[in-house]
Amino acid sequence: MKITNTPEQHLIIVDLDGTILNNDFSTLNQRNKKVLQELQKQGHKICIATGRNYLSARPFYQEIGLNSFLITYNGAYINNPSEKNQEKIVVNPIANSIVRSILNEKIIKENLLSVLADRVDQTTISTSDDIYYQEVFFNKNTYLKGDVLKHLGDKDCLQLVLEFPHDERKINTILATLRRKYCSAITFYCGSKLKSEKEGETVLVPDPTKLIIKIRNVFASKGMATE
């Protein structure tokens, strides 16, 4: 009997933005695509783990031709898009009551520029449709524009995105409020909002005048999703 050495197979976790996408945040880097496809042919499992919503991330999963799990909303939602009608799903939403309470906080209501929410049924609701939201969140998918709480109804959220002016004192107060009152239910990330590098172009760069706070369920993280 001839014995051959079988190479080890690995689980390879990759992000989208700032990792395998181009600087326009909307197209897959073709060199990265070829590398991932070759690794998959060798028997490795390629898994995308991203903070993006499911509908925004799925086209990149399909373009590469993956057959593994897809981690979206930073780990709040995990499924296998390749298994039609047999999706194995992990869902860690933000409770409807928590979303409503956050949006009704005085410091947030007084400074909020825009809000985006992804309902647990993956419907995106947004009060803004500028280039940042178009490229990073909508990705040519349909969405509801208008009153977030009205469109949310009694459903829970997979993600809540709040946009504020870059005022350090007020932002610190908002972050302190979230930590003090909601730390047992949510986790959040604060960073720069993006804008077009040049008017009319889709290459996005940080906007120093605005900040985004992304809020998700306390159990949602790429690390926990990977485990």
CATH value at residue 47: 3.40.50.1000
Q: What is the pLDDT of residue 4?
A: 39
Q: Are residues 24 and 39 in the same domain?
A: yes
**Residue 3's pLDDT band (cuts 50, 70, 90):** very low
180-194 burial: b if 16+ Cβ within 10 Å, else e: eebeebbbbebeebb
Q: What is the pTM for the complete model shown?
A: 0.84
* Residue 209 located in a structural domain: yes
Q: Which of 51, 66, 91 represents a domain boundary (last residue)?
A: 91
Cα three-residue angle 38-137-107, rounded to 5 degrees: 140
Q: Are residues 68 and 172 in the same domain?
A: no
Share of residues in the chain with pLDDT > 90 (%): 68
* Residue 67 located in a structural domain: yes
pLDDT digits (tens, 9 = 90+) for 168-202: 999 999 999 999 999 999 999 999 999 988 887 77
Q: Are residues 155 and 181 in the same domain?
A: yes
Q: Are residues 107 and 183 in the same domain?
A: yes
Q: What is the pLDDT of residue 153?
A: 95
Q: Are residues 172 and 104 in the same domain?
A: yes
Q: Which of 91, 108, 125 represents a domain boundary (last residue)?
A: 91
The lowest-confidence range among 14-23, 34-43, 143-152, 154-163 is: 14-23
**Residue 22's pLDDT band (cuts 50, 70, 90):** confident
* Residue 121 located in a structural domain: yes
Q: Are residues 143 and 205 in the same domain?
A: yes
Q: What is the pLDDT of residue 128?
A: 94
Q: What is the CATH number of the domain that holds 109?
A: 3.30.1240.10
The lowest-confidence range among 49-53, 100-104, 216-220, 223-227 is: 223-227
Q: Are residues 80 and 155 in the same domain?
A: no
**Residue 87's pLDDT band (cuts 50, 70, 90):** low
Q: Are residues 36 and 82 in the same domain?
A: yes
* Residue 6 located in a structural domain: no
Contact 194, 136 (CB under 8 A): yes
Q: Are residues 18 and 101 in the same domain?
A: no
Q: Are residues 202 and 117 in the same domain?
A: yes
Q: What is the pLDDT of residue 223?
A: 87
Q: Which of 58, 91, 124 represents a domain boundary (last residue)?
A: 91
Tokens 């007020």, residue located: 170
Q: What is the pLDDT of residue 82?
A: 85
Q: Are residues 78 and 44 in the same domain?
A: yes
The domain containing residue 112 runs over which residues? 96-219
Evaluated on CA atoms 156, 159, 162, 168, the torsion sign reads positive
* Residue 5 located in a structural domain: no
Instruction: Calculate mean pLDDT across residues 29-47.
Output: 94
Residue 148: partners with Cβ closer than 8 Å, 6 or more residues away: 103, 115, 116, 117, 125, 126, 127
Q: How far apart, in whole angstroms, are the C-alpha atoms of residue 125 and residue 202?
A: 22
* Residue 202 located in a structural domain: yes
Q: Are residues 58 and 109 in the same domain?
A: no
pLDDT digits (tens, 9 = 90+) for 61-78: 999 999 999 999 999 999
Instruction: Calculate mean pLDDT across residues 133-161.
Output: 92
**Residue 1's pLDDT band (cuts 50, 70, 90):** very low
